[in-house]
Amino acid sequence: MKVLVVEDEPDMAESLRWGLEAEGYVVDVAENGEEGLWKAQETGHDVIILDVMLPGLDGFQVCSRLRAQGLWTPILMLTAMDDDLDLAEGLDVGADDYLPKPFSYTVLLARLRALTRRGLGVRPTVITAAGLTLDPASRRAWRDGVELELSSREMSVLEHLMRRQGRVVSKTELLDHCWDAAYDGGPAVVEVHIHRLRRKIDSPTGSPIIITVRGEGYLIEDDHGG
């Protein structure tokens, strides 16, 4: 799951990055409204955390411009102002949810999970595909009832593939959603993680779940056979 954090307070931005990465999210950070608008437009994210009080373009303006351009990534707005008018303005310009500062980190995570479940496409609380079960909230996965020991990155790759079951997912898409913007390596790292996932998921049954589509990417067939 890839999150864009638009926050100009360095301590808050770093705290959000650290906490979200510890939960298995891939995090991009923008320090002002202009940078946040550009990153939201140019790089695919599953959800945006957008502070209201930003230098340059404020959060209301960023949100309004994204919606005017037809970009409907779920947006959670953060504000130090707990005011009904601010709340109304944020929702009116297209925000999906609103969280006043200071906030509980547990509540923030729950709000993010709720937003991504009702965002673009179907996002159930627990994902199932081809004998696999994945719980994004607890970052745990099972095959046929047996828990899998997966690294944070392996979990992110598997979650992305399972959320798009029945669709071929390219290496580029996996890089975009499961590695942060600071990673400057090539797509070979995706192959390495797919290989590791297969060793953990397919063994001991030997029944393949992640299918390679030559020249295109990887596929997990849906529960109805694709």
| φ, ψ of residue 40 in degrees (nearest 5) | -65, -35
pLDDT tens-digit readout, 34-50: 999 999 988 778 899 99
Residue-averaged pLDDT of the chain: 85
| CB contact at 8 A, 71 and 41 | yes
Q: Is it the case that residue 81 has pLDDT exceeding 60?
A: yes
pTM, full prediction: 0.64
Q: How far apart are alpha carbons 63 and 77 in whole angstroms?
A: 9
pLDDT at residue 170, rounded to an integer: 93
- pLDDT at residue 132 tops 50: yes
Token code pair at residue 60? 């209301």
Burial of 145 (0-12, 13-18, 19+ CB in 10 A): exposed
pLDDT at 205 over 70: no
